[in-house]
Amino acid sequence: MCKMMKFSAIWIVCLAVVLGLSACGGANDVSSSNGSPSASSAASLPASSSAAAQAAPSAEETELTVSAAASLTDALGELKALYETAHPEVTLSFNFGASGALQQQIEQGAPADLFLSAATKNMQALVDKGLMQEQRDLLKNELVVIVPSDGAAPVAKLEDLSGDAIKKIAVCIPESVPAGGYAKDALTAAGLWDSLQAKLVQGKDVRQVLQYVETANADAGFVYKTDALSSDKVKVALAVDPSQYKPIVYPVGVVKATKHADAAERFYEYLQTPEAAAVFVKYGFSAAAAG
């Protein structure tokens, strides 16, 4: 009888232990299903699940350096905003200056992806040296004589520049700035270049000449029509006879040394689109192909 009771007691204790272990195992299972996955469960997750959580890579960002004649400052400023809005991966950085100086910079290896010149001779010089990938004529402009908007000096023809009322005449440096070369051609054709030397004040580019006249540091100045239209501080006194100077043509091209050939090509093509043409016309330019 005693043996029977001892056996029953041992059996009950064993049963209790088994039941207790089962309960612990069940709790662990619930914790695993409702909490963090175990190491073995995490290891079994497909690798693609973590990759999917990562954002897709964005387009490669590119900064294009565009060397451009100073007379293009306003038009290209507007085109920059339009182009960068449509192509957020591209940043346009402009290097404005005299076309001759920009030509020399490119010849000396200065970084440039595109070149927009105010004269074909500066572009042709780079083409002849094998430094341009491709190029074409893009725009035309006109040469005008400006005076301060409140100026009283009468200037209706080039010969009027010889009058006593005109003390200083601003022109760009003929040797390095196309606008200066055009002005020299016109004054030479009129037989005035030599006689006006004492009155001439030279500017590094058309924007400086414009500033001289705006601030009355010059009584008259030779600039492009597009520059005259950009300021309410000057007025056009006369449009120079186109037969007295070479046609003012602006070529554009991709520099062969560009490190962003595809992006440079796309902006080169964009400058030839109707959208870009409309902006250039707004600022007084005309298409080079126009009659």
pLDDT band at 12 (very low <50, low <70, confident <90, very high): very low
Residue 199 DSSP one-character state: G
Same domain, 227 and 94: no
Same domain, 178 and 224: yes
Same domain, 71 and 154: no
How many domains does the structure of the chain reveal? 2
Higher local confidence (pLDDT), 285 or 18: 285
Asked if residues 154 and 160 have their Cβ atoms less than 8 Å apart, the reply is yes
User: Does residue 97 fall inside a structural domain?
Assistant: yes
- In whole angstroms, give the CA distance from residue 262 to residue 291: 32
224: nearest Cα among 173, 274, 283: 283
Least confident of 14-23, 77-86, 173-182: 14-23
User: Does residue 95 fall inside a structural domain?
Assistant: yes
Largest CA distance in the chain: 147
pLDDT of residue 188: 98
- In whole angstroms, give the CA distance from residue 264 to residue 169: 39
3-class DSSP assignment, residue 291? coil
Asked if residues 216 and 131 have their Cβ atoms less than 8 Å apart, the reply is no
Provide the token pair at 24: 């612990």
- In whole angstroms, give the CA distance from residue 237 to residue 156: 6
Same domain, 128 and 173: no
User: Does residue 3 fall inside a structural domain?
Assistant: no
pLDDT digits (tens, 9 = 90+) for 191-236: 999 999 999 999 999 999 999 999 999 999 999 999 999 999 999 9
Instruction: Check whether 285 has a pLDDT greater than 70.
Output: yes
CATH number at residue 202: 3.40.190.10
**Residue 171, strand partner residues:** 202
pLDDT of residue 10: 45
Instruction: Check whether 18 has a pLDDT greater than 90.
Output: no
Range of the domain at 115: 62-140+250-287
Q: What is the pLDDT averaged over residues 158-187?
A: 97
pLDDT of residue 60: 82
- In whole angstroms, give the CA distance from residue 45 to residue 52: 13
Instruction: Check whether 31 has a pLDDT greater than 60.
Output: no
How many residues does this entry show for the chain? 291
pLDDT of residue 59: 63
- In whole angstroms, give the CA distance from residue 97 to residue 91: 19
User: Does residue 29 fall inside a structural domain?
Assistant: no
* Residue reference for tokens 């006109």: 142
User: Does residue 56 fall inside a structural domain?
Assistant: no
**In terms of C-beta density within 10 A (0-12 exposed, 13-18 middle, 19 or more buried), how is residue 124 classed?**
middle
Last residue of a domain, one of 204, 219, 239: 239
User: Does residue 19 fall inside a structural domain?
Assistant: no
Q: What are phi and psi of 152, to 5 degrees?
A: -105, -10
Instruction: Check whether 244 has a pLDDT greater than 90.
Output: yes
| Helical ranges in 35-128 per DSSP H | 39-43, 48-52, 73-86, 99-107, 120-128
117: nearest Cα among 133, 141, 93: 141
pLDDT of residue 151: 79
Which positions ≥6 away from 215 have C-beta within 8 Å? Answer: none
Same domain, 200 and 162: yes
Pairing state between β 220-224 and 62-69: unpaired
Provide the token pair at 172: 């760009």
Residue 89 DSSP one-character state: T
pLDDT of residue 267: 98
The DSSP annotation for 224-286 comes to: EHHHHHT-SSEEEEEEPPGGGS--EEEEEEEETT-S-HHHHHHHHHHTTSHHHHHHHHHTT-E
Prediction pTM value: 0.76
Pairing state between β 169-172 and 220-224: parallel
pLDDT band at 35 (very low <50, low <70, confident <90, very high): very low
